[in-house]
Amino acid sequence: MASVNISNVVKSYGALTVVHGVDLEIGDGEFVVLLGPSGCGKTTTLRMVAGLEDISGGEISIGGHVVSDKPPKDRKIAMVFQNYALYPHMTVRQNMEFALRPQKLPKHDVDAKISRISSMLGLDPLLARRPAQLSGGQRQRVAMARAMVRTPEVFLFDEPLSNLDAKLRTQVRMEIAKLHKQLGTTVIYVTHDQVEAMTLADKIVIMRDGRIEQIGKPEEVFLRPRNLFVATFIGSPSMNLFKMTAKAVGNDVVLECDDFSVPLPARLRGRVHQGQAITLGVRPSDIRLVAPGEQPLITAKVEVVEYLGVEALVDLRSGHQEFIGQMPAGSRPSVDTSINLTFEPAGLHLFDSETGNSLDLD
Ligand SMILES: Nc1ncnc2c1ncn2[C@@H]1O[C@H](COP(=O)(O)OP(=O)(O)O)[C@@H](O)[C@H]1O
Ligand SMILES: [Mg+2]
């Protein structure tokens, strides 16, 4: 096992810079997920750690040793790709043996390693099969097994589940989580899927355009997004956004738009000035029906109701504002009715509309 340190790493292709000075410390045994939209530089960053791409600037260390000039085979890493890249003419066992070949181990040790990993991943009944005789999920497990027999110090995964159907994805995701628990190996895992990131990561690194937007535990990036990009990227359905203006009323401050107003949360006193343009973010799950006798914050018309079993997603409109609420299915409203709603006070996220930054930053 090993820690990984990525320090001010830059990647340019000619005049085009695609990774702009990324800094990231990954602890020994930590499961870190690089999350971001397509093209933001996740794969490039991972390939630089693997040694498959040169770095244009900065430094990468694995286990305390600078590896920037070392070839991939000397980095004690193993990489699992999106397309499993198994050798089609080899059996599962042969694919695993092939991965061990550079280590020139005695046959006895090879067999012991293969048998340990194969039973851990439930591959024993499949060892004699060729990739064409396996399902997508089984192939992906073989790809992981092939990476694992080399007992690397760091696992690198690049969107390993994206070729699987939804049900298998959940299953293999849980297997990866279990394996990490058992092996405790450091993992860097790339995905554009926030559910994978939230469920697997000790630490999520959210990237955009070759830069890191936020690093934090899943709860931190969900509950305290640093900016509008993170706020809207994490969470499904997306956080609702309302364009508001801060206005002093007596000694208090309210945020208002044409359709409703909200008192400024007490924790943000002194951080907002008169006339400031503020984007108010409220997750669908923080919107609820008022209790009997409770003052509504906003009254909205129900346009569409999507029943999802446990919960329902409700498309709402109030004047110019369109937003989504997420409610227990049992108390979902009917289409075309008018309902009185409030926002959970703890669920109010305020952002400066000009910078996009959260007002909650220390
Ligand atoms: N060999 C290359 N030459 C030029 N541009 C590249 C090359 N590889 C990747 N890029 C560009 O670098 C950016 C980041 O790509 P990538 O790391 O693959 O993103 P992600 O994995 O987050 O989708 C993209 O804009 C991509 O077009
Ligand atoms: Mg990629």
How remote is the CA of residue 41 from the centroid of ligand 1, in Å?
6
* Residue 13 beta carbon below 6 angstroms from any ligand 1 atom: yes
Predicted TM-score (pTM) of the model is 0.92
| pLDDT single digits (tens) 214-260 | 999 999 999 999 999 999 999 999 999 999 999 998 888 999 999 99
Q: Which segments of the chain belong to CATH 2.40.50.140? A: 240-352
Residues in contact with 197: Cβ distance below 8 Å, sequence separation at least 6, in sequence order: 33, 35, 191, 204, 218
The closest residue, in CA terms, to atom 10 on ligand 1 is 18
Q: pLDDT-derived band of residue 171, with 50, 70 and 90 as boundaries? A: confident
* Residue 76 beta carbon below 6 angstroms from any ligand 1 atom: no
Report the CATH fold assignment for 240-352. OB fold (Dihydrolipoamide Acetyltransferase, E2P) (2.40.50)
Q: Which segments of the chain belong to CATH 3.40.50.300? A: 4-227
Pick the more confident residue, 166 or 126: 126
The pLDDT of residue 154 is: 95
The pLDDT of residue 148 is: 85
Using alpha carbons, select from 347, 346, 350, 282 the residue that is nearest to residue 316. Answer: 282
Using alpha carbons, select from 85, 88, 109 the residue that is nearest to residue 97. Answer: 109
Mutate to test the pocket of ligand 1, among 11, 16, 18, 190 (most ligand atoms within 8 A of CB): 18
* Residue 37 beta carbon below 6 angstroms from any ligand 1 atom: no
Whether a cis peptide bond, with omega within 30° of 0, leads into 237 is yes
| pLDDT single digits (tens) 117-137 | 898 888 999 999 999 999 888
* Residue 290 beta carbon below 6 angstroms from any ligand 1 atom: no
CATH architecture for segment(s) 4-227: 3-Layer(aba) Sandwich (3.40)
